[in-house]
Structure formats: C-alpha cells, structure tokens
Structure 1
Amino acid sequence: MERKNVVLEKSIAFALEVIRFTEMLQDQKKFVIANQMLKSGTSIGAMIHEAQNAESKADFIHKLKIAAKELEETRYWILLCERSEYYENPKQLKEQVNELGLILYKILSTSYKTKP
C-alpha cells in the first residue's frame, strides 16, 4: 500500500486554489498581483516536487528552502490582498499557506537534525 505524501498533496491543492484566485483577479484586471501570486504560489509545489528527486540531502534541503522562500513571498501577496480594500480577502488561501508552511518548516527542521 502506497503512503500518501501529505506535503505533496497539500502543495497541489494550494497551487490549484492559487490558480483559481489569480484567475479571478485577472478577470478584475488586477494583473500585477495576480501574476506575482501565481508565480510564487505555484512555485512552492514545484520545488517540493523537485525535492523528491534530490541528488543528496543537501540538495533536498536546498530545494525545500527555495519552496519556503516562495511560500513567504506568497504570504506577502496574500497579506496585500487581505489588507487592501480593493481586493477580495483570500481567507482560504491564507489558511492553506499557513498549514503548508507548518509542514514545510517541520520537514526542514527534521532534515537539519538527521544525519546524511
């Protein structure tokens, strides 16, 4: 029986939600934030997926650190939308990015502690 990889599944679900939200922003002609959020929000999962085939533990950590940077950038765009009176509040995205961040940072923390 194959075990589910929670971080992979959550990163896909988050990316799909980012796509939905940014398409709505694009329909409202809010292209700058939509494009920035689309790039960083979907990049999180791409880097997590890439880390699954890392060449070494150091490479694995490096790729997850890039995913964490993209996650923090996405949090920034979500925060701008949340605080702006001209944008819809992306409450669901905020919850998902926070949950994904907890998992990602836990994996990184554990990876630093384990020996190669």
Structure 2
Amino acid sequence: MKAQELGRLGEQTAARALQKMGCRLLAMNYRTRFGEIDLIVQDGDTTVFVEVKTRKDASFAEAAEAVTPAKQERLRAAAQQWLAEKGESPARFDVVEVYTKDRTIRHIRDAFT
C-alpha cells in the first residue's frame, strides 16, 4: 500500500472512531497556506483539530512522535485560520494513532497546546 493510501485509510478510520465516540465531523483535509489539518471535529462545544498518524505497527516508534514542534506550530496556525473563518470556540489538539497491522487506534486528547 502506498503511503498516501495508508494515510487516507488512517484518516477514514480515525474519523469513524471519533464519530462513534460522539464527535461530529466538520472537515477532512482542511488546507491552508500554513498546512493541512487531517480532521476537524466537534466534541461538545469544543472544536478539535486532529492530526492522524498511520503506521503498520509501532515497531519503529509511536506514531505521535512524528508530530514535531514545527508540525505543531503549523497546525496551530491552520487552526487559528479555521477559528477566524468559522467563529471562535474552545479548541484542543488531539493526535490519533492508527496501526493497521493489529487494527488498533490510540486517541491522545490534548496532545499539545
């Protein structure tokens, strides 16, 4: 499976999992000049910006470790644009790790600020 296909599969899997947890999907692959936010969901009154990391397994490193400080900064800037366009609300940043080999998902709430 190509990396792009793996990423798309992970995003779809994460979106379904978050919806099952009661979140409402607002956007997938929201693009800005700062970068892309994989998923944006509503959890109660909170807008949640979600970075999805998909790996075959965790043998190399946990997927969340790939969300570097530079990536976090780009996500914050993109989130600010969303909030400016759609209206301010409480917000948080989550990371969802999807491991395809054993079909597990790890949801990290408030992964960074």
Q: Shared topology, TM-score over 0.5? A: no
Larger-gyration structure (1/2): 1
Higher strand share: 2
Higher helix share: 1
Q: Provide the TM-score with structure 2 as the length reference.
A: 0.35
